[in-house]
Structure 1
Amino acid sequence: MRCERRVWLDGRSAQPPQTAPTADARARMTLRANHKCHILAAIEGVEDFSELPWNERVTQTRLAMQRGAAMISGAALEAPIGGRLLHGAPDLLQRQTTAASGAWIYEPIAIVLHTRPTRWERLLLDSWRWLVRQTQGWDHDPPGELWLGANGYRPVCIKRQTASLAAFTAQIRRAIAIAAGEAPPIWFDSDHCPFCPWRTSCDAAAHDTHDIALIPRLSRRQGSALRRLGIHRIDQVITLDPATMTTLPDHSSATEARLRRQAQALLTDQPLPVSAAIPSLPQVRLFLDIESDPQTREPWAFGLAGAPGDRFVIVVEPLVAGSDVRLNGIPVIGVHSAHEGWQRVLHAVRATGGALAHWGEAERLMLEQSADPHTYQELIPLMIDAQRELYKRVVLPTPRQSDQRGGGLKAAARWLGWRWSPGADHWTLAWEAYRQWRAQPSPANVFDRLTPAIVYLATDVEALAAVWRWLDAFVASINATSAPQDGHADRDTATNREC
């Protein structure tokens, strides 16, 4: 079950709140919808009911299945189960003829953006298989297909799903029992919560009760184990006896100490070192943040920052290669390709004579994917993951919530007082500005259209530099005194500003 609390809340409300998905969730929904349209556009002979009202879609889908339509998109299916009515909208229904009787059956198809389907996508396909079975009155479970990724207008690969639907019907029975029971606990899932209309309600409830769901990096298994022990509040984690703590899944002395300190940091709104003495940071003189195509992960811009105020952006666009302009005071350099962008990054790192800090694994993966072998071999040993370095040394009072994991760059930078300008405060806005700019007949003549993307990326990379400088100062203060200091006093090191 993806979220028991969502099932329970839905079961007790005739109308969920009108809370919109987050900007990130909306972007993911758009990507999926565009991918689905891209794949469907190449299929001939499809009957499409997607523009009809729901009840009419249900009627027309049944009629089309009865007359044997070859392909149906925008299908709508309904069937009763456990006293409830299950609704489903398969991406595509495909007619197949049985060899034995010559009769036709329909197979639902899930059109998946990426090549690795999640278990939730498999569960959704099973729900469509069950609805097809009920609609057609078959006594056996029909197969379904997962169309994964895109190679031109066709999926990269197709995986058939034929397993028994007994597990799916068991999930439905469990959901019905959950809806009729007591309120399940809150758990924040970054792949689910951003889409959920109840997310702000869960955020508020968790903060009001100091719920353990707010603790970053607490695993679902550990959280469930704590709740079975009657531990629901953050303050209870701090006082939990060591013998009980050893019974938690994935326990170690290090994870126990970190869990207690993380709980204490949240309650006091103070950063805390993970131990009495922590290693100094490696020397970093340049910081990197990358914007990439959300589907291919190919870099389209590289943001670099050195000393405070010293930053520039490299933009990938052959039509402006060699250009050197300023947007909002930020130097912007045009290059032909991501290969050339990485070469420019390497040149900048050589000039500084230090390491290159980035946040998380994305930049390393993109380096491997889009740089030439020579640049990769020279640059990879110089790259420092700032997120990992912070995690090894400090816990921050940044809670996990429905729209943040608690350990992200923006959560850390916002805690330090960093702000992003309205209109240039999310990667989706930067990506859209870049796409619209590239679509112009002569991008070189309308560079100003790229300004929101440049401002966003420059702010991101300067936020990374600010977090690193704060961390360096905080680590030095801890090691100088061997006692935690007021972390808020070190916030000045982050060069607080609104960009």
Structure 2
Amino acid sequence: MKCNKSKPINDHLLRSWIRCRRKAWLDIYGDKQKKLWTAHSTLQLNHQIDCFHNLSQKSYGIGIQACEEGKNIAYGVRIKYPLIKNRIIKANLPILRKTSGESIWGNYAYQPILARQGKKITREHKLTLAMTSLLVNNLQKFQVQKGLILHKENKVLKVEKIKLSDNINTDLIGSLLNLEKDIESRNPPPITSNRKKCTICSWRKDCDAVAIKEGRLSEVSGIGEKRELLLNKIGINNIEELAKIKHYKLKEKLEVFGTQHGDISKQIILQSQSRSTNRAIKLNPEIELNNLKKAKGLYIYDIESDPDIKHDFLHGFIRLPKNIKNEISLEQTKYSPLLNLEKNTESFLWKRITKKLSINPDYPIIHYGETEPISLLKLGLRQGANPHEIEELKKRFIDIHLLIREYWCLPVRNYGLKSIAEWIGFEWKQSNADGARALLWWRQWKKSRKINKMYSRNLNSIFEYNRDDCIATLMIAKWLIDH
């Protein structure tokens, strides 16, 4: 691989590198045909535009000319400068805000602004803000001490001031120098041990293939970044080595670092054995599952949510009017999507859900993960359901995720719905669809439904995706019964 020593470093590349060193390298040299589109980047951009729109003032302009004219807001300012030796640093700043100071343009200056998603300010936010600040300070010949980070929570814009300290700037320069070393290398950096980050990365399939080929310990459920380092310290560097070690020996070695690591030794050995042989290992041979086997029928339940405003906008149900041991015809399963357009319409939603579930009060409600029962029980409490009603509803829930974890060790990296369903052979009708994409469809549809029909098809896409989630849950339950 020919390295590119002349390519400028920009704010996008820095953000990629902070998230994952390998991602930054692949952004330059990776095969673009292997790069996946993800909804997260579009959601982030939409969030940024929404935040900036709320901050906008009447006096604004475009580019450096806006700064020269002393506008309150300057959009789209492009800057480049060699912050580190022999390497140009570029940034396309979406927005700057006028503040007090003494710049080359007059008795005012500009401070950088970022918009963030997530619950807290991260190192990525601080270093990106620091880089744009150093570039702006060099342009205006005045040092601004603080930058702004915008965040919308429950539709309210919050503005946080971040002090641009010497420590942050030192961390930034060190990061830029390390980033420069990585992108000058002919070989990509190793795959990150923290594979949770990979779920929203556009290079995840490329890295998954490499990780499986190399037998990386990060492919084993229960092994994160810290635990992989501990295993490396005791001489275990891949799945094959972990699968061969005796449980008592691993427990003894790991307990040096804490009893919690020793306690999980048996689990990760079994998981590595399942992964290396690509076969399922039954943990409990006495598995009965009578509550599933004896049920005359089932409800399958899955929700879609907007986490930024804590709004469950879709409650999807499938009613299976037969015993799960019988042959299931997916074409004949009836799917019922119950939309909750606004948070203040929950009363009507609760009535619809309880009416649906009361048709067959003896049917269990199966779901995957803890989100669905927590959401529905809280909804009931908000609508004044009595304690007996809540308790009876709680008894009907069966968490298929918990049953899988309790009775089986499967050759998967994680036990999420998609991983397990795909392993047993289920395929979603829409390729590359996930919860983030469903959220994007929802926001697009909600914004446009009163204006035009451009995104009207998105509502059907959400329904189809949610129906597939319900069917995937059903298929995993069916697999449990059959095995």
| TM class, shorter-length | 0.7 to 0.9
The answer to whether residue 136 in structure 2 is matched with residue 132 in structure 1 is yes
Q: Secondary structure, in 3 states, of the residue corresponding to 1:41?
A: helix
Which residue among 215, 218, 224 is the counterpart of 1:219? 224
Post-superposition shift, 1:19? Answer: 4.4
Post-superposition shift, 1:314? Answer: 3.3
Post-superposition shift, 1:359? Answer: 2.0
Report if aligned partners of 1:290, 1:299 keep a CA contact under 8 Å in 2: yes
Letter in 1 for 2:136: V
Structure 1 stretches lacking a partner, 5+ long:
50-59, 320-334, 400-405, 475-499
Which residue among 324, 339, 342 is the counterpart of 1:316? 339
The structure-2 alpha-carbon separation of the partners of 1:246 and 1:387, relative to structure 1 and needing over 3 Å to count, comes to: same
Which residue among 164, 170, 173 is the counterpart of 1:169? 173
CA distance in 1, matches of 2:341, 2:299: 26
CA distance in 1, matches of 2:446, 2:212: 42
Q: Provide the residue aligned with 1:36 in structure 2.
A: 48
Which residue among 282, 290, 299 is the counterpart of 1:286? 299
Q: Secondary structure, in 3 states, of the residue corresponding to 1:156?
A: strand
The structure-2 alpha-carbon separation of the partners of 1:304 and 1:121, relative to structure 1 and needing over 3 Å to count, comes to: same
Post-superposition shift, 1:127? Answer: 2.4
Which residue among 405, 409, 416 is the counterpart of 1:408? 416
Q: Provide the residue aligned with 1:260 in structure 2.
A: 269
Q: Provide the residue aligned with 1:396 in structure 2.
A: 410
Which residue among 236, 241, 246 is the counterpart of 1:231? 236
Q: Secondary structure, in 3 states, of the residue corresponding to 2:32?
A: coil
Q: Provide the residue aligned with 1:420 in structure 2.
A: 428
Report if aligned partners of 1:132, 1:142 keep a CA contact under 8 Å in 2: no
CA distance in 1, matches of 2:138, 2:240: 50
Letter in 2 for 1:217: G
TM-score (norm 1): 0.72
Q: Secondary structure, in 3 states, of the residue corresponding to 1:419?
A: coil
5 Å matches for 1:247-396? 247=256, 251-274=260-283, 285-293=298-306, 295-307=308-320, 308=328, 310-316=333-339, 337-350=345-358, 351-353=360-362, 355-364=364-373, 366-367=375-376, 370-371=379-380, 372-375=382-385, 378=390, 379-380=393-394, 382-396=396-410
Q: Secondary structure, in 3 states, of the residue corresponding to 1:458?
A: helix
The structure-2 alpha-carbon separation of the partners of 1:94 and 1:407, relative to structure 1 and needing over 3 Å to count, comes to: same
Q: Secondary structure, in 3 states, of the residue corresponding to 1:392?
A: helix
Post-superposition shift, 1:388? Answer: 3.2
The structure-2 alpha-carbon separation of the partners of 1:277 and 1:145, relative to structure 1 and needing over 3 Å to count, comes to: farther
Q: CA RMSD in A?
A: 4.1
Q: Secondary structure, in 3 states, of the residue corresponding to 2:304?
A: strand
Q: Secondary structure, in 3 states, of the residue corresponding to 2:157?
A: coil
The answer to whether residue 23 in structure 2 is matched with residue 6 in structure 1 is yes
Q: Provide the residue aligned with 1:402 in structure 2.
A: none
Structure 2 stretches lacking a partner, 5+ long:
1-17, 321-327
Q: Secondary structure, in 3 states, of the residue corresponding to 1:155?
A: strand
CA distance in 2, matches of 1:197, 1:217: 24
Report if aligned partners of 1:303, 1:461 keep a CA contact under 8 Å in 2: yes
The structure-2 alpha-carbon separation of the partners of 1:144 and 1:84, relative to structure 1 and needing over 3 Å to count, comes to: same
Report if aligned partners of 1:48, 1:75 keep a CA contact under 8 Å in 2: no
Letter in 2 for 1:84: R
The structure-2 alpha-carbon separation of the partners of 1:249 and 1:208, relative to structure 1 and needing over 3 Å to count, comes to: farther
The structure-2 alpha-carbon separation of the partners of 1:186 and 1:435, relative to structure 1 and needing over 3 Å to count, comes to: closer
Letter in 2 for 1:386: I
Q: Once the two structures are superposed, what CA deviation does each residue of 1:166-199 show, in whole Å capped at 9, x if it has no partner?
A: 2222322333445567754212656754565644
Q: Provide the residue aligned with 2:192 in structure 1.
A: 187
Matched pairs, number? 433
CA distance in 1, matches of 2:479, 2:318: 15
Post-superposition shift, 1:107? Answer: 1.4
CA distance in 1, matches of 2:440, 2:171: 40
Q: Secondary structure, in 3 states, of the residue corresponding to 2:279?
A: coil
Letter in 1 for 2:353: V
Post-superposition shift, 1:289? Answer: 0.3
TM-score (norm 2): 0.74
Q: Provide the residue aligned with 2:115 in structure 1.
A: 111
CA distance in 1, matches of 2:287, 2:108: 68
Letter in 2 for 1:215: V
Q: Secondary structure, in 3 states, of the residue corresponding to 2:369?
A: coil
CA distance in 2, matches of 1:281, 1:135: 71
Report if aligned partners of 1:270, 1:396 keep a CA contact under 8 Å in 2: yes
Q: Secondary structure, in 3 states, of the residue corresponding to 2:110?
A: strand
Q: Provide the residue aligned with 1:202 in structure 2.
A: 207
CA distance in 2, matches of 1:386, 1:225: 32
Q: Secondary structure, in 3 states, of the residue corresponding to 2:130?
A: helix
Choose 372-381 or 66-75, whichever is displaced more.
372-381
The structure-2 alpha-carbon separation of the partners of 1:458 and 1:88, relative to structure 1 and needing over 3 Å to count, comes to: same
Post-superposition shift, 1:223? Answer: 1.8
CA distance in 1, matches of 2:150, 2:226: 32
Letter in 2 for 1:470: W
Letter in 2 for 1:207: I
Q: Provide the residue aligned with 1:327 in structure 2.
A: none
Q: Secondary structure, in 3 states, of the residue corresponding to 1:314?
A: strand
The structure-2 alpha-carbon separation of the partners of 1:136 and 1:157, relative to structure 1 and needing over 3 Å to count, comes to: closer
Post-superposition shift, 1:149? Answer: 0.9
Q: Secondary structure, in 3 states, of the residue corresponding to 1:90?
A: strand
Q: Provide the residue aligned with 2:162 in structure 1.
A: 160
Q: Secondary structure, in 3 states, of the residue corresponding to 1:146?
A: strand
Q: Secondary structure, in 3 states, of the residue corresponding to 1:221?
A: helix
